């Protein structure tokens, strides 16, 4: 592969910043156009880097998608973890659910890679990569379990966590796809979480 004059004239950037900018550019293109948007030259142009940088950090579309998957779950984990394991388990559950929406709206491209339909011809992320998502979800179950120890639930923690995640995920997907009614969607989302939490309590 050859570089262009524009590629050679770009000033060097810190590796971590360059990799992050490349991922963000790829996520934005994926959110707007799906898999067809993941064209190396377009990603490089959007990130303000050379095509060589994209190839350096990511091994083809599969490698790029796996990196997006990992980074998305890292951002979700960081946002949710900041609200978890305080001295108020009920607030921990609610705030963790609210953080889910915040991450989805702030990073829709990452969210679609993490939870959207798997594009045809692209293998699912490896088991090692998917383990990051399972770790994050397992921590959410632990948060729900702590809440249940303080306020008995009508079901086990695993089932309660699934109900809460499904409620939040459904509302977020309607919002991201433009299928939600015109309303204060933040308030609607919070209402959905509150109603689900009340329904899970004995």
**Residue range(s) defining the domain that contains residue 12:** 1-58
pLDDT of residue 1: 37
- How is residue 19 written in tokens? 């990799």
Answer yes or no: is 183 within a domain: yes
**CB contact set of 112 (below 8 Å; sequence gap of 6+):** 30, 31, 176
pLDDT in tens, 91-120: 999 999 999 999 999 998 899 888 877 666
For residues 84 and 130, membership in a common domain is answered with: yes
For residues 123 and 89, membership in a common domain is answered with: yes
For residues 10 and 81, membership in a common domain is answered with: no
pLDDT of residue 174: 94
For residues 48 and 12, membership in a common domain is answered with: yes
CATH number at residue 53: 1.10.10
Give the global pTM. Answer: 0.80
Euclidean distance between CA atoms 60 and 133, whole angstroms: 22
- How is residue 50 written in tokens? 């050379």
Number of compact structural domains in the chain: 2
pLDDT of residue 98: 96
pLDDT of residue 125: 75
Q: How far is CA 154 from CA 38, 68, 147, in A?
A: 45, 37, 12
Answer yes or no: is 64 within a domain: no
- Own/partner contacts of 100-106, CB < 8 Å, gap of 24 or more, are 100/76, 100/165, 100/168, 100/169, 100/172, 101/168, 101/171, 101/172, 101/175, 101/186, 101/189, 103/75, 103/76, 103/79, 104/172, 104/175, 104/176, 105/172, 105/175, 105/176
Answer yes or no: is 122 within a domain: yes
For residues 88 and 37, membership in a common domain is answered with: no
Answer yes or no: is 194 within a domain: yes
The residue assigned the tokens 């890292």 is 74
Answer yes or no: is 146 within a domain: yes
pLDDT of residue 57: 87
Choosing from 35, 58, 81, the residue where a domain stops is 58
For residues 85 and 4, membership in a common domain is answered with: no
Answer yes or no: is 172 within a domain: yes
pLDDT of residue 79: 86
Q: pLDDT tens per residue, the chain (202 residues)?
A: 344 444 444 444 457 788 889 999 999 998 888 888 888 899 999 998 888 888 888 877 778 888 998 999 999 988 888 878 899 999 999 999 999 999 999 998 899 888 877 666 666 777 777 888 899 999 999 999 999 999 999 999 999 999 999 999 999 999 998 999 988 999 999 999 999 999 999 9
């Amino acid at each position: 592969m050859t570089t262009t004059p524009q590629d050679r004239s770009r000033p060097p950037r810190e590796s971590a910043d360059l990799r992050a900018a490349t991922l963000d550019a790829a996520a934005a293109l994926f959110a707007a156009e799906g898999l067809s948007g993941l064209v190396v030259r377009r990603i490089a142009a959007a990130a303000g880097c050379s095509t060589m940088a994209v190839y350096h950090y990511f091994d083809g579309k599969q490698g790029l998608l796996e990196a997006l998957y990992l980074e998305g779950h890292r951002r979700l984990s960081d946002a949710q973890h900041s609200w978890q394991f305080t001295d108020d388990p009920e607030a921990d559950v609610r705030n963790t659910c609210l953080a889910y929406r915040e991450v989805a709206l702030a990073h829709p491209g990452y969210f679609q890679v993490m939870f959207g339909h798997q594009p045809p011809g692209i293998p699912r992320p490896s088991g090692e990569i998917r383990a990051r998502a399972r770790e994050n979800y397992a921590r959410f179950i632990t948060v729900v379990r702590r809440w249940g120890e303080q306020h008995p639930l009508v079901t086990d923690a695993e089932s309660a966590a699934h109900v809460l995640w499904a409620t939040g995920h459904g509302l977020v997907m309607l919002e991201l796809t433009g299928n939600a009614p015109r309303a204060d969607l933040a308030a609607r989302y919070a209402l959905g979480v509150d109603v689900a939490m009340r329904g899970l309590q004995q």
